[in-house]
């Protein structure tokens, strides 16, 4: 047992020195650094940070997602297009292939699996891709991104029950189609959005030759992100199979039942139960600064001679909300049964390897003890019998060495699994918490557009409204930073 303890401590020290997990209560420090740089308006610095190996996510998909979105904010639209296109390709490949890396994750943890976006995050790739192409005035490419959104919205309709999120995405894809000149596709997208939302933010009938539309997208705060926690609970034997059920409702109900027993222990020896302790990811709360007050948009300084249907006062846009955090949280929760099933399997592997290591070391000790006893009993023997004893002793030593090596291998597997089985906190953490979508019909000309929060107005600058067209104005409201500087509108 002394040998087992020494080997365990040595292997734990080696595994701890080699592991590179950067988990913390508020997420991954490198990604917190990037968020802080974006809030401070240091877009170029954030772009340089994501190029550094010690900061950039190791997973290729996550790295391109970060690079693409940061490049969009930094105004490097060509780089943003390349990164988002590459992110789309990788995410599509992983989604269609359904990579089977489960065997490796049974030993090392969820981090061994390639990062994959959920349905909500996957939709944000063509969302930003389309806005980025609009900023470059590449309308055909914008239509391509809108069609990608349509494909995802159709394929994920049964997987994402959040009709408000899906409806808002349908509406945004309609705006992209309309700006790109694809009127028929825009009308289809608007009809689908209306069916899901019940109402649309403004009139989608094409404006006449004296008016134009302004669509304002206000991105607010940061998306909710996974955080680490300890999960101590008990699980029944039949519940393990239910976590892997083909029925999603059964999987989710089973997980919620298990999660509700957090901190509760019971004697599983008397019944078919087992106490389990896991390091576990849960979706944390949204930054409260991102959810204070109601956001909206309005246009001011309208000409007095404007027709009576609109009046001479400010036009306050109706709005719908794309709740990114709620949709991402729902996707995360749907994957929790699979995560806990894999975590339980890893816990079982650790128990088996620990028992196998202890058994191998004990067997090696028994072999050496038996050989020593036989050597003592054969001290007075001479000739061939003595030589036979030496030969048997050599064989016993080899057998014991083999058992010890096998035990070390099992122990190394056990310790590495324990050290590497960390909560998987990987996420696209620079997404907004929500996007407020507003639409205003204005007379052709220049107009001042403002963002309102709790009745207080912040200027986004002047936008030029062209007759019969749609202009898209995008602004990111960083937590704690009022939107005092206008972003370039998309014509």
- The most confident of 19-23, 363-367, 435-439, by mean pLDDT: 435-439
Q: Is 207 left (phi over 0), alpha (psi -120 to 50) or beta?
A: beta
Give the count of alpha carbons within 13 A of 196, CB side only. 24
Does 208 share its domain with 276? no
Say which residue, 320 or 408, is predicted with more confidence.
320
User: Which residues make beta-bridge pairs with 320?
Assistant: 437
Are 181 and 125 found together in one domain? yes
How many helices (H) and strands (E) in the chain?
Answer: 14, 10
Across 463-491, average pLDDT? 72
SS3 6: helix
pLDDT at position 304 is 46
The whole-angstrom separation of Cα 252 and Cα 254 is 5
**Above 70 in pLDDT, residue 218?**
yes
Q: Is residue 83 predicted with pLDDT exceeding 70?
A: yes
Q: Provide the pLDDT confidence category of residue 431 given band limits of 50, 70 and 90.
A: very high
pLDDT at residue 487 tops 70: no
> Highest mean pLDDT: which of 241-245, 246-250, 395-399, 435-439?
435-439
For 238-267, how does the pLDDT look when each residue is reduced to its tens digit (9 = 90+)? 887 788 788 888 888 888 888 888 777 665
Please count the other Cβ atoms lying within 10 Å of the Cβ belonging to residue 271: 11
pLDDT at 471 over 50: yes
> Which range among 19-28, 237-246, 463-472 shows the weakest confidence by mean pLDDT?
19-28
pLDDT at 66: 94
The mean pLDDT of 380-384, rounded to a whole number, is 52
Enumerate residues 6+ apart whose C-beta is below 8 A from 356: 406, 407, 410
Residue 257 domain flag = yes
Last residue of a domain, one of 282, 299, 321: 282
CA nearest to 221, candidates 30, 440, 486, 35: 35
Which tens digits make up the pLDDT trace of 277-314?
A: 777 788 887 765 555 566 677 777 555 444 444 444 56
pLDDT for res 483:
53
Enter the tokens of residue 146.
């809108």
Q: What is the pLDDT of residue 162?
A: 79
- Residue 162 phi/psi, 5° resolution? -80, 90
Spell out the alpha helix ranges (H) of 117-274. 119-135, 139-155, 163-179, 183-197, 237-243, 248-259
Q: Which residue range is the domain that position 79 belongs to?
A: 2-11+29-225+285-347+426-477
Question: Is the alpha carbon torsion for 73, 79, 81, 87 positive or negative?
Answer: negative
Query: How many structural domains is the chain composed of?
Result: 2
In this structure, of 49-58, 441-450, 477-486, the range with the lowest mean pLDDT score is 477-486
Distance (Å, rounded) from C-alpha 412 to C-alpha 419?
A: 10
In this structure, the answer to whether residues 215 and 337 fall within a common structural domain is yes
pLDDT at 373: 55
- Domain with 449 in it: what CATH number? 1.25.40.10
Decide if 356 is inside a domain.
no
324 in the same domain as 290: yes
Residue range 146-161, pLDDT digits in tens? 999 999 988 765 455 6
315/183 same-domain check: yes
d(C-alpha 2, C-alpha 263), whole Å: 33
Query: Which residue reads 């409201």 in tokens?
Result: 477
Both tokens of 337, joined, read: 């049964």
Q: What is the pLDDT of residue 363?
A: 72
Q: Where residue 86 falls among pLDDT bands split at 50, 70, 90?
A: very high
Question: What pLDDT does residue 202 have?
Answer: 84
Q: Which of 193-197, 372-376, 443-447 has the lowest mean pLDDT?
A: 372-376
Q: What are 409-421's pLDDT values in tens digits? A: 666 655 555 555 6
Quickly state the pLDDT bin for 2 (edges 50, 70, 90). Answer: very low
Q: Same structural domain for residues 127 and 186?
A: yes
- 367 part of a folded domain: no
The answer to whether residue 167 scores a pLDDT higher than 80 is yes
Residue 399 lies in a domain: no
The average confidence (pLDDT) of the chain is 76
Same domain membership, residue 178 and residue 311: yes
pLDDT at 462 over 90: no
CA torsion sign for 404, 405, 409, 412 is positive
Mean pLDDT along residues 95-120? 64
Same domain (yes/no): 219, 91: yes
User: What's the pLDDT score for residue 391?
Assistant: 54
Query: Poorest-confidence range of 139-143, 299-303, 480-484?
Result: 480-484
| Same domain as 109, residue 6 | yes
Domain-ending residue, one of 237, 263, 282: 282
Q: Residue 15: its pLDDT value, please?
A: 40
Name every residue whose Cβ is closer than 8 Å to that of residue 2 and which is 6 or more positions away in sequence.
Answer: none
Is 299 in the same domain as 270? no
* Whether residue 96 has pLDDT greater than 50: yes
Q: Examine the domain organization and report whether 235 and 326 are in the same domain.
A: no
Query: Pairing state of beta strands 211-220 and 434-443?
Result: antiparallel
Q: Say which residue, 112 or 137, is predicted with more confidence.
A: 137
The predicted pLDDT at position 138 comes to 93
373 vs 199, higher pLDDT: 199
């Amino acid at each position: 047992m002394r040998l087992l303890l020494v080997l365990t401590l040595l292997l734990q020290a080696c595994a701890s020195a080699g592991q590179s997990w950067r988990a913390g209560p508020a997420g991954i420090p490198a990604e917190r650094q990037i968020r802080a740089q974006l809030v401070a308006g240091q877009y170029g610095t954030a772009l340089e940070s994501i190029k550094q190996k010690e900061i950039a996510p190791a997973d290729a998909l996550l790295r391109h997602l970060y690079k693409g979105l940061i490049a969009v904010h930094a105004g490097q639209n060509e780089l943003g297009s390349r990164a988002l296109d590459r992110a789309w390709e990788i995410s599509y490949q992983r989604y269609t292939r359904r990579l089977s890396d489960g065997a490796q994750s049974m030993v090392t943890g969820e981090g061994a699996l390639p990062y994959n976006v959920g349905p909500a995050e996957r939709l944000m790739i063509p969302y930003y891709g389309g806005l980025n192409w609009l900023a470059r005035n590449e309308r055909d490419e914008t239509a391509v991104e809108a069609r990608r959104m349509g494909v995802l919205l159709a394929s994920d309709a049964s997987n994402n029950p959040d009709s408000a999120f899906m409806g808002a995405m349908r509406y945004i894809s309609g705006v992209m189609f309309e700006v790109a000149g694809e009127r028929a596709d825009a009308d289809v997208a608007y009809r689908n959005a209306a069916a899901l939302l019940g109402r649309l933010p403004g009139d989608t009938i094409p404006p006449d030759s004296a008016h134009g539309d302004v669509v304002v997208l206000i991105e607010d705060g940061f998306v909710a992100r996974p955080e680490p926690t300890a999960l101590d609970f008990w699980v029944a034997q039949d519940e393990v199979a239910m976590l892997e059920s083909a029925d999603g409702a059964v999987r989710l109900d089973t997980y919620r039942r298990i999660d509700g027993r957090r901190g509760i222990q019971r004697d599983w020896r008397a019944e078919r139960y087992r106490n389990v302790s896991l390091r576990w990811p849960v979706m944390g709360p949204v930054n409260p600064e991102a959810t204070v007050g109601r956001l909206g948009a309005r246009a001011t300084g309208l000409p007095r001679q404007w027709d009576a249907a609109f009046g001479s006062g400010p036009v306050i846009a109706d709005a719908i909300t794309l709740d990114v955090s709620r949709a991402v949280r729902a996707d995360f929760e749907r994957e929790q049964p699979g995560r806990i099933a894999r975590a339980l399997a890893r816990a079982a592997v650790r128990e088996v390897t620990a028992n196998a290591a202890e058994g191998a070391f004990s067997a090696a000790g028994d072999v050496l003890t038996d050989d020593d006893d036989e050597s003592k009993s054969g001290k007075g023997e001479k000739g061939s019998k003595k030589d036979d004893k030496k030969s048997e002793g050599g064989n016993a030593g080899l057998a014991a060495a083999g058992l010890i090596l096998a035990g070390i291998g099992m122990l190394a597997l056990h310790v590495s699994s324990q050290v590497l089985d960390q909560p998987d906190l990987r996420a696209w953490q620079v997404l907004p918490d929500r996007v407020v979508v507003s639409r205003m019909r204005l007379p052709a000309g220049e107009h001042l557009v403002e963002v309102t929060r709790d009745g207080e107005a912040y200027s986004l600058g002047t936008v030029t409204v062209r007759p019969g067209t749609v202009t898209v104005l995008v602004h990111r409201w960083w937590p704690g930073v009022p939107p005092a500087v206008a972003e370039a509108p998309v014509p």
